[in-house]
Amino acid sequence: MTTRGRLGGRRDITAKSLEARSGGQYDAADSPRPVPSAVDARFAPCQACGVRGFRSHTEGEGEFMRKHRYALGATAASLAIVLLAACQSNTGGGNSASGGPTSTLKIGVVTDVGTLDDHNFNQYSWEGAKAGAQAVGAPAPQSVVTTQSADYAKNINSFVAKNYNIIVTIGFAIGGDTTKAAKANPNIKFIGVDQGICVDEQGNPDSTFACKGDAAKLLPNYQGLVFKAQQPGYLAGVVAASISTSGHRHRMPRPSTTRPAARPPRISC
């Protein structure tokens, strides 16, 4: 597939040279409707979001992608809570006839730095946690809103100290502290939104991203929820190439874009 920028030159963009693809995975390069320009991109189907429909003419490119990506995050968080609750012996699996909770599960949510109504990771993960709690008949989850990254560990441990059964942490940045908490508290279930679990052979956070430890065995109580960020990222690259005036394109070296998650999502009872 090719795009034409303002410089007038044709640029070949070959997605297949970036990574091997498994059957059934969305491939932007093989899309039946390539996105030739930023203008056309606004009205193109959101094929990378996993949902049907066209974006609103008044809705910006970034806003549309963000809404649907984080809506998927809410669904994933809710599903993870339901599955983890199925592993617990103290859940009734639904609401009582009087409408009250039938489970004694205590669910806590630790946000990334920000607010609960940020229209982003925090809000959609919070909505997912509430939906998951309702689905299993648990009391409404409690939240701790992080105001600075130095408080990640303290906020997680505030729920640990109160004997919470499931702790949801939000965002890549809190992953290291979540890993440490999961290792120190094997009887508590942890769910990390946008966290690909990467540990060394002792089960500690691996800042080198060598990921030599088997997280599934070392931390069976910790579930990371990750997303295919490379798909909307590829489409963003197409748009960037089509409007570039310098001929240069760059990306930020993030673990989510430089290597796959250490392991696929799974739930261990």
Q: What is the pLDDT of residues 87-104, one digit of tens each?
A: 664 444 555 555 667 788
2 secondary structure, DSSP code: E
Neighbours of 217 (CB within 10 A): 10
The separation between CA 144 and the C-alpha centre of its own chain, rounded to angstroms, equals: 19
Residue 109 has pLDDT above 90, yes or no: yes
26 falls in which pLDDT band (50, 70, 90)?
very low
Residue type at position 251: R
- Determine the Cα–Cα distance for residues 164 and 109; give it in Å rounded to an integer: 10
Number of domains in the chain: 1
Does the residue 213 lie in any domain?
yes
- Determine the Cα–Cα distance for residues 202 and 219; give it in Å rounded to an integer: 10
Q: What angle do CA 234, 32, 226 make, to 5 degrees?
A: 35
Residue 117: the pLDDT is: 92
pTM: 0.63
CA-CA-CA-CA torsion sign (178, 218, 19, 22): negative
Pairing assessment for the beta strands 107-110 and 166-170 based on DSSP bridges: parallel
259 secondary structure, DSSP code: S
Does the residue 25 lie in any domain?
no
Does the residue 12 lie in any domain?
no
Range of the domain at 151: 35-92+102-258
Does the residue 268 lie in any domain?
no
- Determine the Cα–Cα distance for residues 268 and 156; give it in Å rounded to an integer: 21
Q: What is the pLDDT of residues 207-263, one digit of tens each?
A: 999 999 999 999 999 999 887 777 888 888 888 888 888 877 666 665 555 544 444
Does the residue 137 lie in any domain?
yes
- Determine the Cα–Cα distance for residues 141 and 106; give it in Å rounded to an integer: 7
Q: Would you mind telling me the total number of residues written for the chain in this entry?
A: 269
With CA atoms as reference, report the closest residue to 122 among 59, 194, 188: 194
- The pLDDT of 158-185, averaged and rounded, is 97
Q: Which residue has the higher pLDDT, 199 or 32?
A: 199
Give the C-alpha distances (Å, rounded to integers) separating 218 from 38, 125, 127, 221, 261: 45, 25, 29, 9, 16
CATH code at position 80: 3.40.50.2300
Does the residue 88 lie in any domain?
yes
Does the residue 4 lie in any domain?
no
57 falls in which pLDDT band (50, 70, 90)?
very low
Residue 120: the pLDDT is: 85
Least confident of 95-99, 139-143, 200-204, 217-221: 95-99
Q: What is the DSSP string of 27-59?
A: -GGG-SS---SHHHHHTSB-TTTT--SB--TTS
